[in-house]
Amino acid sequence: MHGPPGYDRLASDVSWDAAYLEFRPPERVYTLDELGEEAAGPNAFSPVAITEPFRFLTDEGVRVLQEICAELEGSARGSDRIPKFVRGGVYRSEFLWGLATDPKLIAWLRELAQAPIEPHPVSHHAVHINYAPDDLSLNVDQWHADITSFDYVLMVTDPHDMKGGRFEYFFGPVEEGKALLERDGELPADRVRSPQFPGPGWAIFQQGHRVLHRATRLEEPHERVTIVGSFFTPHPQIDDPTATTMPRLRRVDGDAIALVEGSRFAAVAAARKLERFAAATADFDRPPEDLRTALRESIADVERMLAEFDREPEPPIAAPVGRR
């Protein structure tokens, strides 16, 4: 895909091939019901919460990915939440584009998600890379729920001998976890789980907007790189979580990126809703007022995005590492 100005192809890039994928089903898939009675909330797309780690890439795929991520680290930025990350690598790497769009990958993860996931129209979400912070006092990422529906967290570097830097998630509803953090500043240790990644090329898959999770700080210097690959989920009644997050994306990625990718997201989301409207709602038995209401709801993503073009930008919250 044609990328923004300055997003040149990486010297370390190689062409994508589905042969780099090595899927082994996870031993366990936890459901939202297992996390708690209210864990699904009003907007879960399926019963799936989070998996145990599973094999994702071949050894050769890991080697290629490590070289790509090492080259991209020179472009790392930091934000109010994540100290060191890179977004938009799919525009600079055919390999990363494959990790976001390969039909075999999408089909396999769609089955795992039990939901009709698609490649994410916001390509900066499609592949987000987190790096170990230069400051060891900082977490790799804070407690949060995602602004995307489903995602995988892929360990790029070897986690053996790494002290700290754990991926953790709260075994309970997102809202309960946030309330506990607000009240106590931490979560009960017996309700925090940390999957053990056997090595690089292994991943977990989660319905990230319904699972509260983080990556802890490292206790000593160690290479730690993970990819968060996110997907879009069209649904007849539920908005994808990305739908209402354009104001933050403008602050993280800047208007030159966010207004373009946000427009793409709005167009795709509205197209899926309009297809459903045409197939199931545009019926001669429906009163005209009901049709008008349903049609307006189908284009809500476009209306919301158009309003962003008229809204003044807020101060950015991300900058090159070392310049914040």
Model confidence over 97-144: pLDDT tens digits?
999 999 999 999 999 999 999 999 999 999 999 999 999 999 999 999
What are the tokens at 102? 């390969």
- Return contacts of 29-32, CB within 8 angstroms, 24+ apart: 29/112, 32/207, 32/210
Report pLDDT for 324: 45
Categorize the per-residue pLDDT at 270 as very low, low, confident or very high, splitting at 50, 70 and 90. very high
What are the tokens at 98? 């494959």
The answer to whether residue 117 sits within a structural domain is yes
- Cα-atom radius of gyration of the chain, to the nearest Å? 20
Model confidence over 161-208: pLDDT tens digits?
999 999 999 999 999 999 999 999 999 999 999 999 999 999 999 999
For residue 3, count CB atoms less than 10 angstroms from its CB and return exposed for 0-12, middle for 13-18, buried for 19 or more.
middle
How many domains would you assign to the chain? 1
The answer to whether residue 279 sits within a structural domain is no
- CA 110 to centroid of chain Cα atoms: 15
The answer to whether residue 152 sits within a structural domain is yes
Report pLDDT for 1: 60
The answer to whether residue 37 sits within a structural domain is yes
The answer to whether residue 297 sits within a structural domain is no
The structure's pTM equals 0.96
> What mean pLDDT is reported for the chain?
96
Q: What are phi and psi of 119, to 5 degrees?
A: -55, 140
Q: Could you give the angle at the alpha carbon of 318 between the alpha carbons of 317 and 320, nearest 5°?
A: 150
The answer to whether residue 278 sits within a structural domain is no
What are the tokens at 320? 């090159």
Distance CA 260, CA 73 (A): 24
Taking residue 13's Cβ as centre, other Cβ atoms within 10 Å add up to: 18
CATH number at residue 100: 2.60.120.620
Range of the domain at 22: 18-236
The answer to whether residue 43 sits within a structural domain is yes
Distance CA 286, CA 297 (A): 16
Q: Is 318 left (phi over 0), alpha (psi -120 to 50) or beta?
A: beta
Model confidence over 195-221: pLDDT tens digits?
999 999 999 999 999 999 999 999 999
Q: With beta carbons less than 8 A apart as the criterion, state whether 51 and 150 touch.
A: no
The answer to whether residue 138 sits within a structural domain is yes
